[in-house]
Structure 1
Amino acid sequence: MSARDAILKRLRERADGALSAPDSDFAVVTGRGWSRDERLARFERWIGSVHGEVVHAAEEGWTDVLAKVLVDKGVRRLALGKQHPVAVEARRALVNAGVELVDVDRDIEQWQHEQFNDVDAGLTSTRGAIAETGSLWLWPTPDEPRLISLVPPLHIAVLDAGTLEDTFFDVIEKQGWKNGMPTNALLISGPSKTADIEQTLAYGVHGPRELVVIVRHA
């Protein structure tokens, strides 16, 4: 019997019965009770405080806002997926926009140099956002790999206003993560940032220098 098996055997044969999880009070991490407008205002304030940009768009006209962002930011090469509705709509709208659309459903070894040196921006969908911390949350897929939000100098994220939750706990609870936890969820709270020993904050050292969130309203 291995040491591990011996330890587990002793735990199973405890004289005072099996161990059980204690009752927990999660009130401190939930129950904010904010309205939809309050959630949106808090999210925008917090993500804006760390240099994230928020632009608003109607659901049926968000690609016009995207096109304007690309022009304003001087984006010539945009990396994006093919299958998610956000990517499908963007590709359709940008056919004649003078922007090269870069496919991302490739093994990273095939286009690593291109991604790190030639792509101006990455476009992704989001699963939602957190009002309390001003954070987006993404669930990467082969169609939208995590590197398109972590490598290009500009990350453009599309957020539906109705997917905002008050706290991270609310996201975990409402999305049922206890029954199917994502293997690689990303929490994004502004552009990449880091600080040196003198606490001087710098942006874009290890990832995107800019983050633009397009908030879609139904």
Structure 2
Amino acid sequence: MSAVSAESHRARRAIFQRLRHGASARNAATPAGDQAPYITPWQDGADLSVSRTTRFIDNARNWQAEVVEATPDTWLQCVVDLIAERELQSVAAGRDSAISEALAGSALADRMYWLDGAIETCRETLFNGIDAGITTATGGVAQTGSLLLQPTVAEPRVLSLIPPVHVAVVHESTLHETLHDAMREQRWVEAMPSNMLMVTGPTKTADIQRMLVYGVHGPRALIVVLIRDAAGGVA
């Protein structure tokens, strides 16, 4: 190791040590109850006469997402039908994701493009040869109708970022009232995700004359396949 590299390594290690020490000191000095004034109660503006699931669906649709309800037995056929109805010829997914085995054994097998190599080797295909990307979601937020995505090596971010259509599969049991509830109930404090995304509807921008326009960049359509729980749903 050169003198410059060794010095850079020591400096980097010293910075991280100071950050860790500072975080520990802040956590010790700030009781959990002190965070309450900074958190908006989820009940504000919520219609408590309807279920969390219904509020998630309504809010997602308000942001131009399409929500398709399914069961643990029918979700795969729903995805197959959605792809066929839209005549999407090439569909990308992660090779080792939670749904890859099911997709590989479905009627979509001959349309699947498996993303299992370096992004640099498939960039051209992703931008010019893929009609849709299919991912899972780790949860949803009823307050805003948002999806929570945690990209991994098995399911890279590009699947929900580049193809014109993003199909996301999410379980009803993972819906939360607010982002704060999701952070607490999924216990992020014990293992903070390195990359967690909150996706609300298809891509949009208001940069052009302050007018909200959908699908200017990234996915023009977001389809949420919501797997309803057999037990009857979330209150």
Q: TM over 0.5: same fold?
A: yes
Q: Check conservation: 1:30, 1:166, Cα contact below 8 A.
A: no
What letter corresponds to residue 41 of structure 1 in structure 2? T
Query: How far apart are residue 25 of structure 1 and its match?
Result: 4.1
Q: TM-score by structure 2 length?
A: 0.78
The answer to whether 1:93 aligns with 2:102 is no
Q: Distance in 2 between matches of 1:155 and 1:85?
A: 16
Cα RMSD (Å) of the superposition?
2.7
Q: What residue is the counterpart of 2:54 in the other structure?
A: 41
Q: Distance in 2 between matches of 1:120 and 1:95?
A: 13
Identify which range, 194-203 or 62-71, moves more after superposition: 194-203
Deviations 1:132-171 (A, max 9, x none): 0110001111110011001100000001111101110011
Query: How far apart are residue 206 of structure 1 and its match?
Result: 1.9
Q: Check conservation: 2:148, 2:196, Cα contact below 8 A.
A: yes
Match of 1:181 among 192, 217, 221: 192
Deviations 1:101-158 (A, max 9, x none): 1011211110101101110000001101000011000111111001100110000000
Q: Check conservation: 1:63, 1:89, Cα contact below 8 A.
A: yes
The answer to whether 1:169 aligns with 2:180 is yes
Q: Distance in 2 between matches of 1:95 and 1:77?
A: 9
What letter corresponds to residue 195 of structure 2 in structure 1? N
Identify which range, 186-195 or 201-210, moves more after superposition: 201-210
Q: Distance in 2 between matches of 1:30 and 1:43?
A: 16
What letter corresponds to residue 216 of structure 2 in structure 1? V
**1:135-214 alignment runs, 5 A limit:** 135-214=146-225
Q: Distance in 2 between matches of 1:78 and 1:70?
A: 8
Please list every run of 5 or more consecutive structure 1 residues that lacks an aligned counterpart in the other structure.
13-18
Cα distance change of structure 1 residues 95 and 152 upon mapping to structure 2, 3 Å threshold? closer
**1:76-115 alignment runs, 5 A limit:** 76-94=89-107, 99-115=110-126
Specify the SS of the correspondent of 1:178. helix
Q: What residue is the counterpart of 1:15 in the other structure?
A: none
Q: Distance in 2 between matches of 1:132 and 1:100?
A: 35
Identity of aligned residues (%): 33
Query: How far apart are residue 42 of structure 1 and its match?
Result: 1.0
Query: How far apart are residue 88 of structure 1 and its match?
Result: 1.4
The answer to whether 1:59 aligns with 2:72 is yes
What letter corresponds to residue 124 of structure 2 in structure 1? H
Q: Distance in 2 between matches of 1:41 and 1:203?
A: 23
Structure with a larger share of its residues in helix: 2
Q: Distance in 2 between matches of 1:90 and 1:202?
A: 32
Q: Check conservation: 1:78, 1:119, Cα contact below 8 A.
A: yes
Poorly superposed stretches of 4+, deviation over 3 Å: 27-35
Q: What residue is the counterpart of 2:7 in the other structure?
A: none
Specify the SS of the correspondent of 1:182. coil
Identify which range, 147-156 or 196-205, moves more after superposition: 196-205
